[in-house]
Amino acid sequence: TAEIISGTQIRKAILAELTEEVKQIKEKYGKPPGLVTILVGANPASISYVTLKVQTAESLGFHEIQDNQPDDISEADLLALIEKYNTDPDIHGILVQLPLPKHIDDKKVLNAINPDKDVDGFHPVNVGRLMIGGDEVLFPPCTPAGIQEMIVRSGTETSGAEVVVVGRSNIVGKPIAIMMAQKGVGANSTVTIVHTRTKDLASHCKRADILIVAAGVPNLVKPEWIKPGSTVIDVGVNRVGMNEATGKAILRGDVDYEKAAEIAGKITPVPGGVGPMTIAMLMKNTVRSAKIHLAR
Ligand code: NAD
């Protein structure tokens, strides 16, 4: 059976490395990395994501501001708030939790973040930098960066490997496909992107040395689509039911995990796979930003 690539364990290692880096930054510059998380309204899922980000930032010794704003904040006021943090010398990362209320234009808000503090990597300038690759890349988007980190730390060969990415979203599918095709460590792959209009999903998946699935459809990938010995990264998070005893949602990925694990060489579980990596990469981007800003 496949080796399990544990996001929980890799996250732990990354956070330990970052703790050291934060110490060094404090010694050298007299202040820690600063992150602000802006939450508009009280969407329960958003609250839980933001809380996790805040707790992780605090555990690393960041200067952390949790800026909660009411549901009815005007777009102009939100833009003004972002401008305040854009010029705040103690803040190196600005994160606006999505989704935003309907009366606010997400795009306008994300585009207002100073690209040099855009630790989510969603600003068009950072998307462009990612496309150029190499030293141009400032903040790789967190979920794709987590995926690449798991591939590298699991010892999977990427150079010349056939990578098939299922999904073409701006936050996962497209950026990870670009990243895997770039020159460099954990990349140099031959990449295919497949999506809802792809004619024969199975035939593409069967060729994959590394199969990255980000569709949001439980059991989309059948065990017989998995190339024996390949590495399978399951990004999907699907709520398929409720555990009566704990009252918590039962989560499944996009891959039929139990059967796939008998065929793949390495596989990520859900939960405990890609999920835990995303916040760790957000922290990594913030540390990187702090180093750049403080050295100026
Ligand atoms: P999305 O809905 O924006 O994109 C899904 C993509 O999958 C689309 O491009 C679509 O073409 C493709 N797709 C959907 N159904 C398909 C099918 N039947 N056959 C082929 N292609 C199909 O979703 P997203 O934001 O990219 O997220 C994808 C999944 O990853 C979701 O389950 C989401 O919850 C999860 N996710 C997890 C993390 C994390 O763990 N940190 C982060 C982001 C997203």
Atom of ligand 1 nearest to the CA of 146: 41
Class at the top of the CATH hierarchy for domain 141-277 = alpha beta
In Å, how far are 92, 93, 107, 117, 224 from 291, measured between CA atoms?
A: 9, 11, 28, 12, 47
Peptide bond into 218 cis (omega under 30): no
| Residues contacting 224, CB < 8 A, separation 6+ | 202
> Comparing C-alpha atoms, which of 85, 145, 142 is closest to residue 116?
85
Nearest to 101 by CA among 171, 45, 43: 43
Res 37: pLDDT: 98
264 within 8 A of 230, measured Cβ to Cβ: yes
- In three-state secondary structure terms, 242 is strand
Q: Kindly report the CA angle at 229 between 214 and 255, in degrees rounded to 5?
A: 30
Please report, in tens digits, the pLDDT of each residue of the chain (296 residues total).
999 999 999 999 999 999 999 999 999 999 999 999 999 999 999 999 999 999 999 999 999 999 999 999 999 999 999 999 999 999 999 999 999 999 999 999 999 999 999 999 999 999 999 999 999 999 999 999 999 999 999 999 999 999 999 999 999 999 999 999 999 999 999 999 999 999 999 999 999 999 999 999 999 999 999 999 999 999 999 999 999 999 999 999 999 999 999 999 999 999 999 999 999 999 999 999 999 999 99
Give the residue from 147, 105, 125 showing the smallest Cα distance to 11.
147
Domain assignments of the chain as residue spans, ordered by start = 29-125, 141-277
Catalytically active residues, by annotation: 53, 97, 120
Cα(34) to ligand 1 centroid in Å equals: 31
d(CA 118, CA 139): 7
Residue among 52, 56, 143, 169 whose CB has most ligand 1 atoms within 8 A, to mutate: 169
Q: Which residues line ligand 1 (CB under 6 A)?
A: 143, 166-169, 171-173, 195-196, 201, 214-217, 220, 235-238, 274-275, 278
Give the integer Cα–Cα distance in Å for 147 and 211. Answer: 11
pLDDT computed for residue 275 by the predictor? 96
- CA-based radius of gyration for the chain: 19
- The H-or-E segment that residue 231 falls in is strand 231-234
Same fold flag, 29-125 and 141-277: yes
Q: Could you give the ipTM of this predicted complex?
A: 0.99
Return the CATH fold of 29-125.
Answer: Rossmann fold (3.40.50)
Q: In sequence order, what E strands does 32-97 have?
A: 34-40, 63-69, 93-96
Residue 57, SS3?
Answer: helix
